[in-house]
A and B are shown apart, each in its own frame.
Chain A
């Protein structure tokens, strides 16, 4: 299963962190810092895999991919295949790209909840449920559409009551 998904920038600022096994906040931060320290020390043209056992405990592997200013990091156990996870990161980024048109770091910062929605469509409770980027897009679009609609509905009574209260 997938243990954690993290996105951090090259300065070590966390942009997204999702742990599929519960960890207290302090522990999460410690792990993120540990991972960032390792990522920094990696040269340019080396493999995308890191032995994560010293950070995450036994049976954990780590795959990362570097896009522009961001590191995408997936931590998982032996039930996944490293190369496949590398492509899963690719799927994730491709989806983000489709969603935000030319995704950049700030998109992820500002659309925090939307990124979470995309991730939730891909990985559910630590298992990869969807690997087709177009399927994910479809689901996400539908969600935003419905959200917008429901929001429109709730906004009217909201503003009306707002009027009344004034």
Chain B
């Protein structure tokens, strides 16, 4: 090692002529290289800083010494130490006449300073001067600094010079001037908006290097605004053509490829320009096809260009021929041994399945290999792909895999991301409520509070509302399974706060609903939670409210309530809590327990969390009462603004009130329970004519049921206060108090989220269950990997199509056909037979599986016939889809050959002039032929409706587009 070092030193000395390497610098590098620990390295560097600080301040340092000091400073800063004491010297060096010193100075300032640094002001002048220099290297160095150091304010100072340099005789300068202009554009588009045309001009530069460099800013510009650059399509195509025909200088060949980096940039630009634009895309087909053909598969760079081709093909208006080539390349990538290529293959596959989903199926085993690869990067990419191709048929496998992976990693960032993806997929495609809850439980358990709290709220909403709207039975089953699983999970230590909130809420709302668990069990658990997580006020609040609900339901059901001792002690603790919220909740609980069944049922109706709450913000129901009061001689209300200034004190008090209630309101947003409470004013008050200060928490039922004496009940105090307030504090009435508002916002958000979350298409929702069942049956026999493949890809290429087209009979249906040849009347086989047969017809009604399972006892063959019929029906509905697509493909072919080989090969400029002729072609309506047309999906929708399944999505077509 030591020998190598000396050798390296000599080598370094040799190549630089030993110019600025003093012995000190060499020693510094050497000692740092040999440092055994970070501490040792730090010590060396600190010493070095001391030396430099001293030396650099000496007067009359020779320039080359100074240069070396600056290099040493740069080196020190690269190691992570502060070298700011030397910045000013670096700035001084840029003023020097010597090129070498000046360049070193510029290098140092670009590394040291940023555009906001105070010293910049000292450099701008030098830059201005240097941009005018005769020596092009000085100009280049200055341009380099311009990119890094000029900010929005100083752009005007150098802009004229930079623009002038665009016509500099040296191509190196032109190239850098273009880039500097691009930097200006990035920093402040408005400052150079009048100079954008320069980029177009430079595209026709004689030097390929300048042209290639111009593609960078153009790519940026086109990304921001595609439409203003459509006219350049022809130019780009012709440049790409020239590049592939090896018209550029040999210097740009790289591994026998002609200018691959320029090809890649061009393909990227074409992808942007051709996206969703049939006419522009048609101009590109030929040249992209050429690139495909001419690329070399053996070199890395060749594959890079091919990958870019695939990206381009999947972005522009689809062309079947190019899509085929792309699919070929993808399979080549995926079959490769190189992880890099596999990675690119997976990425490319993800792009292509958006256009032709069926392509995924042929690569299923390769994808699964990637999923099991030890390479983390590849694995993540594959998960990304799976995420894109998830549908209701494979959601369980994919989400399970994701969760497994999520548990196995430590990277919090990625954990959060994958967790949110799991949640998203599960919400979108969940085949059953039970599964959804289990999946959510796992996600919560393992990612904890990394998941957005919204997810927890969604979960509560789902449990409260259920999936189906009518099926009460299923809902209650869902709830009891949730309760059961939560009671089990509560035994585990250290649960995340968000999850505990859900658990508490669900236990409170539904813990005793099905009668499986008695109140004391649940309350015991809730007390345990409040105790175990005593530092988390939110969880405690949820737990107390849940306790209140349980007791309320118990009272309402007429059962005797006896508080557990631990519960009592918890109450005592909370009544004296520092958190007003907790205290209030505890008092509420105390209040509720003291009431009789009738009253409690009013306050806490069971299972009413989803009921809509009407809030009368004007408090119009009070009109009668006010009228009465005025008749009795009370002062009418005068709005605060019209009152004389005497009431300033009142204002103050109002503000106080405002603030405190504001603080409270914040807490109460998370309270799921208030949904119930505002019913009180509505249901109760009009009849009893009581002044409604909407504090529903304190039960005013005392008036109704005067039998129950509650001496310390706050409502007494409340009513006393009311009379006082009547005089002039109506503002408080006018402003909605926290509870009603919470509940309204609650219910509205529920509504919207509900609509958004159920994007499931009708066809998937109903197909899910039986396909899943059949799949399970079928996979058990096969090899594990095939099993996975089947479950992932089984439904990926529109299974309903297969029986009709005849080719690619799915595993399931072939299995079925085999069986059907053997006449066998035994019940077992018959049921086995029919079960897989359910896979292909996607539109089968949910009810039908039950009928089929009973049928085998009658006649298995007849049953099969019925099923096949159904298949045909389904495929008939679908063949319309494919039919509508195919004529268009033909049209596409017909359009293609027109005028792509026009005479613009000679010069790039002539290509520009040609475009006017090319743009005259008619523009086809986009999207009309892309994917299934709305009529089909409407038909399908109606078919599904006839079969008795409620489609939960308003737009079946959207879903179809998303998943192909």
Contacts and interface: CB of A to CB of B under 8 A. Distances in A.
B56 interface: no
B78 A16 contact: yes
A40 B5 CA distance: 24
Contact of A132 (B179, B180, B252): B252
Given A81-B307, A105-B8, A46 B147 contact: no
A97 interface: no
Interface residues of A, number: 72
B12 A107 contact: yes
A164 to B, nearest CB: 12
B340 A106 contact: no
B107 A107 contact: no
Contacts of A134: 251
B97 interface: yes
Contacts of A120: 144
B457 interface: no
A133 B261 CA distance: 12
B98 A125 contact: no
B100 A87 contact: no
Given A47-B342, A146-B137, A79 B219 contact: yes
Given A82-B343, A112-B75, A151-B98, A106 B307 contact: no
A66 interface: no
A13 B100 CA distance: 28
Nearest to A162: B62
A4 interface: no
Given A47-B343, A82-B343, A125 B99 contact: no
B172 to A, nearest CB: 6
A153 B102 CA distance: 14
A83 B300 contact: yes
Contacts of B107: 113, 116-117
Interface string B211-226: 0110011011001000
B16 A125 contact: no
Interface in B187-240: 209, 212-213, 216-217, 219-220, 223
B114 A84 contact: no
Given A111-B12, A131-B212, A154 B98 contact: yes
Interface in A103-139: 104-107, 109-114, 116-117, 120, 124-125, 127-135, 139
| Majority secondary structure of chain B interface residues (helix, strand, loop or mixed) | helix
A79 to B, nearest CB: 6
A91 to B, nearest CB: 7
Interface residues of B, number: 95
A152 to B, nearest CB: 10
A67 interface: no
Given A83-B344, A100-B15, A107 B254 contact: no
Given A125-B147, A154-B63, A54 B411 contact: yes
Nearest to B96: A154
Contact of A46 (B97, B374, B380): B374
Contacts of B504: none
A47 B209 contact: no
A82 B63 contact: no
Given A83-B303, A151-B98, A106 B5 contact: yes
Given A25-B82, A50-B377, A45 B339 contact: yes
A46 B857 CA distance: 56
B11 interface: yes
B209 A129 contact: yes
A86 B304 CA distance: 9
Contacts of B79: 14
Contacts of B176: 124, 129
A158 B63 contact: yes
Interface string B755-797: 0000000000000000000000000000000000000000000
Contact of A135 (B71, B209, B414): B209
Given A53-B413, A132-B209, A134-B251, A87 B103 contact: no
Contacts of A142: 137
A125 B182 contact: yes
Interface string B1-20: 00011001101110111010
B219 A91 contact: no
A59 interface: no
Contact of B74 (A48, A104, A112): A112
Nearest to B81: A25
A154 B29 CA distance: 28
A83 B375 contact: no
Nearest to A6: B78
23 contacts: A18-B111, A22-B148, A43-B375, A51-B380, A53-B414, A84-B304, A87-B260, A104-B8, A106-B5, A107-B15, A110-B21, A112-B74, A117-B103, A125-B183, A127-B182, A127-B213, A130-B212, A131-B212, A132-B252, A143-B103, A154-B97, A158-B62, A165-B60
Given A87-B301, A112-B75, 20 more contacts: A13-B33, A14-B80, A25-B81, A43-B374, A47-B342, A48-B339, A49-B343, A53-B413, A79-B268, A82-B343, A86-B300, A113-B104, A124-B144, A125-B182, A127-B217, A130-B213, A131-B262, A142-B137, A150-B98, A150-B100
The 5 closest A-B pairs by CB, nearest first: A106-B8, A110-B12, A83-B304, A54-B413, A47-B339
Interface of B: 4-5, 8-9, 11-13, 15-17, 19, 21, 26, 29, 32-33, 60, 62-64, 71, 74-75, 77-82, 97-101, 103-104, 107, 111, 114-115, 135, 137, 144, 147-148, 172, 175-176, 179-180, 182-183, 209, 212-213, 216-217, 219-220, 223, 251-252, 254-255, 259-262, 264, 268, 300-301, 303-305, 307-308, 311, 338-340, 342-344, 373-378, 380, 411-414
